[in-house]
Structure 1
Amino acid sequence: MSIQIPRGTQDILPGEVEKWQFIEQKAKDICKRYLYKEIRTPVFEHTELFQRSVGDTTDIVQKEMYTFEDRGSRSLTLRPEGTAAVVRSYAENKMYGQTVQPVKLYYLGPMFRYERPQAGRYRQFVQFGVEAIGSDDPAIDAEVISLAMELYRELGLKKLRLVLNSLGDSASRKAHRDALIAHFKPRIGEFCEDCRHRLETNPLRILDCKRDREHELMSSAPSILDYLNDESRDYFDKVKKYLEDMEIEYVVDPTLVRGLDYYNHTAFEIMSDAEGFGAITTLCGGGRYNGLVQDVGGPDQPGIGFALSIERLISALEAEGVLPPHEESIDCYIIALGEKAMDYAVPLLQEIRREGLSAEKDYMGRKMKAQFKAAERMNAKHALIIGEDELEKGKAAVKDLQTGDQEIVPLENIVDFLIRGK
């Protein structure tokens, strides 16, 4: 019986992994410009972290987490998202005491959710995200959004739509919560079991229900924007103004609530409008989470961030046809003919590589013609031909595989010759 890959996971093979490396490097380069520094957290955390931060009423906690008990009878969970772990690390390591504030971080790594696999969605997926913790300036909200938009722009995506909303402060949210309960309660029996449960625990989650999204009460539900107090409205207006100043287009959608409980004030998603991208158009989501640091045991520090799936990003790049083709080449391929030449090629290959050049030799005992074909398949710039006669004369033929030109070079000068011709 053959063992196959678990459902909802994927192997990223050579030829494909280079796309990932290109995107990941682009994300790291942009973070460097914005002064966000990398943080790496464990793949699993105590289950309580996600229950307290993501929220007991969310689909993630109720249905999608990979939770297990270790040998010490502790409940642990593979991280379903990145923010909670970063905030936990921020609080535990007292990063709020650093001299440079706000603390600006980014992460890149695998996340795990037990959900139905579909195009661009996996049970193990790679997430890139940024967090800015310690400032409640609306300008940092705009910066975080601009970073995400800049990444997409530099990768070549054009058919994007930035959607904004404000979830308000705690007072605004309470007033909106009461209005939602009054709106849905008379007909809550028409909704799914999850929505009936959320009516009293977190009615805002009803607006995020996928099963009942077409119910008539959804479109007529009270808008959070009608319940924003002056402070929350002013905050949202400043975020919008900063985006306009940066010439970043957006639309306001009062039904945007996001799928996590820790959001307040600014919430946003970036969608792809590319033809053929699929029914689920969200590429990136994020927002402000004032109070989350305190929820995980730290001081009361504000924060904002976003996360995006690399898998979804690759799908969007493919839909718009802007994913750059991968062309890999090597500096030199050693074609060794005869046993002595093959022995000589081993330390020579190491010497070439130590000088920073990429090089390869034949390991399959192939004839000269087949070795040349191997060099061409690897898109080698030069072929270094060494046989018994060349060894006796202390020279080798170096062929430029782009031009076809060939030179005879003393063996002791081979490395220098290749460096000059790089």
Structure 2
Amino acid sequence: MSMKLPRGTQDILPGNSEKWQYIEENLKDLCNRYNYKEIRTPLFEHTELFQRGVGDTTDIVQKEMYTFEDRGGRSLTLRPEGTASVVRSFVENKLFGLPNQPTKLFYIGPMFRYERPQQGRTRQFVQFGIEALGSADPGVDAEVLALAMSAYQEFGLKSLKLVINSLGDTESRESHRQALVNHFDPHREELCADCQVRLDKNPLRVLDCKKDRNHPAMATAPSILEHLNEYSRNYFEQVKANLDTMGINYVVDKNLVRGLDYYNHTAFEIMSDAEGFGAITTLSGGGRYNGLVEEIGGPETPGIGFALSIERLLMALEAEGIELPLDDALDCYFIAIGEEAEKQALKLTYELRKSGIQVDKDYMQRKMKAQFKAADRYNAKYVLILGENELAEQKINVKNMDTGDQVQIAFENITEHMKKELAGGE
């Protein structure tokens, strides 16, 4: 029997995992500057959380969730997205009662969706996202949009387009909902089976259909912007004004609705215009979800957030030819010749590592020449050489692999010497 990788998943191997680490650490640093704190939620939740939180008319709930029954007969689902879990934790742990509001959170972790695997879209993928809960200030919307754009720009990406729209408040959405029903009802039989159901349950989702996107009725569908009440119009204008103040470019797309049921007011996507990026240009998206906290059992609490796929971020970097500034050089490689030298090298390697210095050594019983070749493959900055003569003198030959310079350092001084050298000789 052949054991192979499950379809739609990937192994992230050394040489590639360093890119992920670099991206994740920089995203965490970005969140720290915006004062967002990390939250970690379970990989699976009760299925009802996603049915209520994400929406039972979405493709995610209807077609893409990995749902199973545990031994106690409970229906559980591997999380397909992060917001519902974060909001559940926000409610369950009463974070709304903390004195510092809004509650600003970020997460990084795997999500699971059963969909057709393709470039940049896998069944297990890693998502980074933020959620700001507790404020209905348009300034928070602008902050989230700014953070989202920075999440790409700080890695050097330039071919970006921010697309925004307003989905309005409950009153505006109801007015738009009725207008959509009136518009699409004469074409009901021409729409796909999913849209025929959506037309009754959530007609806004019809605008997001991939099958019917080229139907003539789509081009003439009533815009939500035509049905915004005064409050919703003013809210959207303030969001745009804040973006203008920060100098963040954007495009208003009246047909942008996003794929989840819980959005209202601000909705947005960030797209890549890079040549060769692929047919699916969306990098990330998000929006405001006033009402979601109440749906999950909490008090009335406004919220807004966004999420991005690390896989698609890596694709965008590749499309623009951007190399991440990774430092893959090894600090030190220890070469020891002889049984007694090996014992001393083991002791000194342990001491160097405890002091915070990155060290490796030979475990293949290779000759000195082969060990030097190994040091080159590891791109070692320094090679520490210990043979019979050095052992007798209680000293180590330290070779700078960049300059070729060599010095002898006493055993008891090697840790401080290497610290100084690696710090630039200061």
Give structure 2 stretches of 5+ with no counterpart.
Answer: none
Q: Tell me the amino acid that sits aligned with residue 269 of structure 1.
A: E
Q: CA deviation at 1:66?
A: 0.2
Report what 1:405 is aligned to: 405
Report what 2:293 is aligned to: 293
**Residue 332, structure 1, aligned to residue 296, structure 2:** no
Q: Following the alignment from structure 2 to structure 1, what is the Cα–Cα distance between the partners of residues 324 and 212?
A: 40
**Residue 388, structure 1, aligned to residue 392, structure 2:** no
Structural RMSD (CA): 0.8
Report what 2:417 is aligned to: 417
- Which is further off, 231-240 or 401-410? 401-410
Q: CA deviation at 1:325?
A: 4.9
Report what 2:83 is aligned to: 83
Report what 1:218 is aligned to: 218
Matches within 5 A, 1:238-277: 238-277=238-277
Residue 330 of structure 1 aligns to a residue whose secondary structure is coil
Percentage of pairs with the same residue: 66
Q: Following the alignment from structure 2 to structure 1, what is the Cα–Cα distance between the partners of residues 183 and 395?
A: 87
Residue 334 of structure 1 aligns to a residue whose secondary structure is strand
Task: Report if the CA contact (8 A) 1:198-1:205 is conserved.
Answer: yes
Q: Following the alignment from structure 2 to structure 1, what is the Cα–Cα distance between the partners of residues 32 and 337?
A: 48
Residue 154 of structure 2 aligns to a residue whose secondary structure is helix
Q: Following the alignment from structure 2 to structure 1, what is the Cα–Cα distance between the partners of residues 81 and 275?
A: 28
Q: Following the alignment from structure 1 to structure 2, what is the Cα–Cα distance between the partners of residues 412 and 89?
A: 52
Matches within 5 A, 1:303-318: 303-318=303-318
Report what 1:116 is aligned to: 116
Report what 2:349 is aligned to: 349
Q: Tell me the amino acid that sits aligned with residue 54 of structure 1.
A: V
Q: Following the alignment from structure 2 to structure 1, what is the Cα–Cα distance between the partners of residues 9 and 192?
A: 30
Report what 2:73 is aligned to: 73
Q: Deviations over 1:217-237 (max 9, x none)?
A: 011101000000001000000
**Residue 49, structure 1, aligned to residue 41, structure 2:** no
Q: Following the alignment from structure 2 to structure 1, what is the Cα–Cα distance between the partners of residues 410 and 347?
A: 16
Q: Deviations over 1:24-70 (max 9, x none)?
A: 11111111010000000000000000000111110000000000000
Task: Report if the CA contact (8 A) 2:54-2:61 is conserved.
Answer: yes
**Residue 16, structure 1, aligned to residue 16, structure 2:** yes
Q: Deviations over 1:318-337 (max 9, x none)?
A: 10112325341122111000
Q: Following the alignment from structure 1 to structure 2, what is the Cα–Cα distance between the partners of residues 413 and 26?
A: 35
Report what 1:376 is aligned to: 376
Q: Following the alignment from structure 2 to structure 1, what is the Cα–Cα distance between the partners of residues 301 and 22?
A: 34
- Which is further off, 316-325 or 256-265? 316-325
Q: Following the alignment from structure 1 to structure 2, what is the Cα–Cα distance between the partners of residues 33 and 396?
A: 44
Residue 238 of structure 1 aligns to a residue whose secondary structure is helix
Q: Following the alignment from structure 1 to structure 2, what is the Cα–Cα distance between the partners of residues 327 and 101?
A: 39
Q: Deviations over 1:80-118 (max 9, x none)?
A: 000000001001111111000000000000000000111
Q: Following the alignment from structure 1 to structure 2, what is the Cα–Cα distance between the partners of residues 53 and 412?
A: 61
Task: Report if the CA contact (8 A) 1:15-1:326 is conserved.
Answer: no
Q: Following the alignment from structure 2 to structure 1, what is the Cα–Cα distance between the partners of residues 179 and 9?
A: 42
Q: Following the alignment from structure 2 to structure 1, what is the Cα–Cα distance between the partners of residues 342 and 289?
A: 62
Report what 2:40 is aligned to: 40
4+ aligned runs moved over 6 Å, structure 1: none
Q: CA deviation at 1:407?
A: 1.3
Task: Report if the CA contact (8 A) 1:314-1:323 is conserved.
Answer: no
Q: Tell me the amino acid that sits aligned with residue 319 of structure 2.
A: A
Give structure 1 stretches of 5+ with no counterpart.
Answer: none
Q: Following the alignment from structure 2 to structure 1, what is the Cα–Cα distance between the partners of residues 323 and 380?
A: 24
Q: Tell me the amino acid that sits aligned with residue 405 of structure 2.
A: D
Q: Tell me the amino acid that sits aligned with residue 371 of structure 2.
A: Q
Task: Report if the CA contact (8 A) 2:22-2:326 is conserved.
Answer: no
TM-score norm. by structure 1 comes to 0.99
Q: CA deviation at 1:412?
A: 2.1
Report what 2:233 is aligned to: 233
TM-score norm. by structure 2 comes to 0.98
